[in-house]
Structure 1
Amino acid sequence: MYLTIGKTSVNAPAHIKISDHPSNPAEKLMAMAKSDMEAVNGIILERMKSPVGMIPDLAEHLVAAGGKRLRPLLTIAGGHLCGDVQPAHHKLAAAVEFIHSATLLHDDVIDDSDMRRGRKVANRIWGNSASILVGDFLFARSFNLMVETGSLRALDILSTASSVIAEGEVHQLASLRNVKTTEATYLEVISAKTAALFAAACEVSAVITDIGEAKTDALRAYGQNLGLAFQLVDDALDYGGFEVALGKSVGDDFREGKLTLPVIRAIQSANSEELAFWQRVMSDRKQESTDFERAVSIIRRRGTLESTLELARDYAREARTALDVFDDGDWKKTLMLLADYVVDRIS
């Protein structure tokens, strides 16, 4: 059996490979937006400061771990696509990154994670209480930045996204270990907990430039579909990727009892023996040392990694199509390539 991803076929029992992608559009966007992203990083570093020493120490631990800075980059790239990047874009991009960082701090506590971006998670060093409170601090800082732009609409978009993200996390928590979780429920969860911030990051870039509703809606649709594709790929990687690409330990979703699409679709096509397995490892919380490998074997046999990635490609195509309303140019071209790269980073 072979798993075909992009233009590359790899033996299914092997790991999904993550290419270096010499033409990586995310890196190209970062280079194109270099001065803007330097301004954004400057704001992030300045607003992390606090006389309470633990706050900047813990926040810096997360920031220093790296990460793609993809969400704030979308705010900057969207501004350029709309023809005008203003200081407000820098502040909103920093606000987007603070929202994302706050959710990571909270998620690591909820998920009882050990690693994030190749480093020990903050709550393993400072404790759960400190991580939660510093996450709250970063949320507050993000709202400071939104208010400073003077755009009530941008404030509404990002504050709404923040509440939607929280709803998505609670929805996922309520669905944890439930082998009857439907594909529709799963898509609702990832639309809220992941795609909402991608969509908002893009939408505020258009709002600040006041480019009109059609293009504002188009950028929001681009971000929404990009975010859905991004999360689908991450969920596939958990059963066939490398930790360096995933930013966390492979198999975390399985161990935490999260019903992601590869598992949901494997359950839908399962025989009685496989159904009993999923019931035991998910609902009954009885996992043995070899169960993750068995789960991967079932998922590959049922072809649900491939079908998950195909759905991700569908959303990537929708993201590209959303940009049709914009004039051709380097920013549009690279954002369209980014939609493909989100899926084809597996190659």
Structure 2
Amino acid sequence: MASLMALTGPGLTAVNHVIIDRMQSPVALIPELAGHLIAGGGKRLRPMLTLGCAAMLEYAGTRHHKLAAAVEFIHTATLLHDDVVDASGLRRGKATANRLWGNPASVLVGDFLFSRSFELMVEDGSLKVLKILSSASAVIAEGEVAQLTAQRDVETSEDRYLEIISAKTAALFAAACQIAGVVAERGAAVEEALEAYGRNLGIAFQLVDDAIDYVSDADTMGKDVGDDFRDGKVTLPVILAYARGDAKERDFWREAMRGKRVGDEDLAQAQLLLRKSNAVADTMARARHYGARAIDALAGFPGGQARDALTETVEFAIARAY
């Protein structure tokens, strides 16, 4: 992501100032816990997308700095809540906040960050921006609940799963990009193109995450290998492997997703079945498809450093698996 980081560097410094300022509280635990995650090695991809899209539109103002910070607060809040729901112990190579401070503190600080994000939206003064980001927040929550209801259900269809990740992951990518079109006042067609870019990038990003949970390592991912498997998360590789398996293999997936096969040897068996069914390879093929759609959404914008950086960001999202 070197191109996007170089393009957005000065703006991201301003965004980080906003983030640091707005995560402060007289309740000492709040900045301590929030800072643990915010300073924990995240790439700030979503706020960089806001800044990068604004640069492509040649927006010269500063409104997008606070809005990019709001996007990062929404993302961070969802991570805090996700780690509680998933009982995760490792994120970005560090102990999760819920492991260090407990579940109640993580949930409540997540709520605080959500509230801070809405303060920043209101300060911007645009009802359209408020609608885009607040709607995205609601859709993300719906996606997380939908994923929870689909957990351990190996009969989940591919279409249903794509709906879930479109909500829980891609909605914020889409909103982060679209709001750049709003602050630049470039009209509905530009906003729609930016929204399409972000949405398709977000789907591709999540599909790659699904794949690398089974084929990468803890140092690369910053979390434990096979977390999705042990948590009973029915992701696309599992959906494809289950659909293509024989009766014995389907029984294995049913037991695994119900939490009855979670040992290292079971993970090794899952990886074997995924290779046999080409499930990971086909998940990556779908990720490349959505990545191509994201790049196509940029076709109507003038070429240059910003569009090139946004294009390379899609390529980075796919290349993480290799």
TM, length-normalised to structure 1: 0.91
Q: How big is the shift at 1:284? A: 5.8
Q: Residues of 2 paired with 1:319 and 1:245: CA distance?
A: 25
Does structure 2 conserve the Cα–Cα contact (< 8 Å) formed by 1:76 and 1:85? no
Q: Residues of 2 paired with 1:289 and 1:311: CA distance?
A: 28
One-letter identity of the residue aligned with 1:299: L
Residue ranges of structure 2 left out of the alignment (5+ in a row): none
Structure 1 counterpart of 2:135: 160
41, 47, 52: which one pairs with 1:77?
A: 52
257, 269, 283: which one pairs with 1:282?
A: 257
Structure 1 segment 121-200 matched on structure 2, within 5 A? 121-200=96-175
Structure 2 counterpart of 1:97: 72
Q: Residues of 1 paired with 2:42 and 2:114: CA distance?
A: 18
- The Cα offsets for residues 192-242 of structure 1, whole Å up to 9 and x where unpaired, read as 000000000000011110111111100000000000000000000000012
Q: How many residues align?
A: 322
- The Cα offsets for residues 312-341 of structure 1, whole Å up to 9 and x where unpaired, read as 000000000000111111101111121122
Q: Residues of 1 paired with 2:55 and 2:85: CA distance?
A: 37
RMSD of the TM alignment (CA)?
1.0
Q: How big is the shift at 1:286? A: 4.2
Matched, 1:33 2:8: yes
Residue ranges of structure 1 left out of the alignment (5+ in a row): 1-25
190, 193, 196: which one pairs with 1:218?
A: 193
The verdict on how the C-alpha distance between 1:279 and 1:346 changes in structure 2, with shifts beyond 3 A counting, is closer
Q: Residues of 2 paired with 1:248 and 1:156: CA distance?
A: 34
Q: Residues of 1 paired with 2:321 and 2:168: CA distance?
A: 22
- The Cα offsets for residues 116-135 of structure 1, whole Å up to 9 and x where unpaired, read as 11110001111100000000
Structure 2 counterpart of 1:14: none
Larger relative helix fraction: 2
Q: Residues of 1 paired with 2:2 and 2:120: CA distance?
A: 26
Does structure 1 conserve the Cα–Cα contact (< 8 Å) formed by 2:208 and 2:320? no
223, 228, 231: which one pairs with 1:256?
A: 231
Does structure 2 conserve the Cα–Cα contact (< 8 Å) formed by 1:158 and 1:200? yes
One-letter identity of the residue aligned with 2:81: H
Structure 1 counterpart of 2:20: 45
Structure 2 counterpart of 1:15: none
Matched, 1:246 2:226: no
Does structure 1 conserve the Cα–Cα contact (< 8 Å) formed by 2:132 and 2:175? yes
Does structure 1 conserve the Cα–Cα contact (< 8 Å) formed by 2:144 and 2:164? yes
Matched, 1:333 2:312: no
Q: In terms of mean alpha carbon deviation, does 77-86 or 90-99 score higher?
A: 77-86
Structure 2 counterpart of 1:231: 206
Does structure 1 conserve the Cα–Cα contact (< 8 Å) formed by 2:211 and 2:321? no
One-letter identity of the residue aligned with 1:170: V
Q: Residues of 2 paired with 1:289 and 1:304: CA distance?
A: 20
Q: Residues of 2 paired with 1:96 and 1:299: CA distance?
A: 35
Q: Residues of 2 paired with 1:113 and 1:78: CA distance?
A: 33
Structure 2 counterpart of 1:22: none
Does structure 1 conserve the Cα–Cα contact (< 8 Å) formed by 2:229 and 2:262? no
Does structure 2 conserve the Cα–Cα contact (< 8 Å) formed by 1:169 and 1:189? yes
Does structure 1 conserve the Cα–Cα contact (< 8 Å) formed by 2:140 and 2:168? yes
Which secondary structure state, in structure 1, belongs to the residue aligned with residue 299 of structure 2?
helix
Structure 2 counterpart of 1:107: 82
Structure 2 counterpart of 1:13: none
Q: Residues of 2 paired with 1:30 and 1:151: CA distance?
A: 27
Structure 1 counterpart of 2:43: 68
- The Cα offsets for residues 284-313 of structure 1, whole Å up to 9 and x where unpaired, read as 634334101110110011111110000000
Identity across aligned pairs (percent)?
A: 52
One-letter identity of the residue aligned with 2:157: T
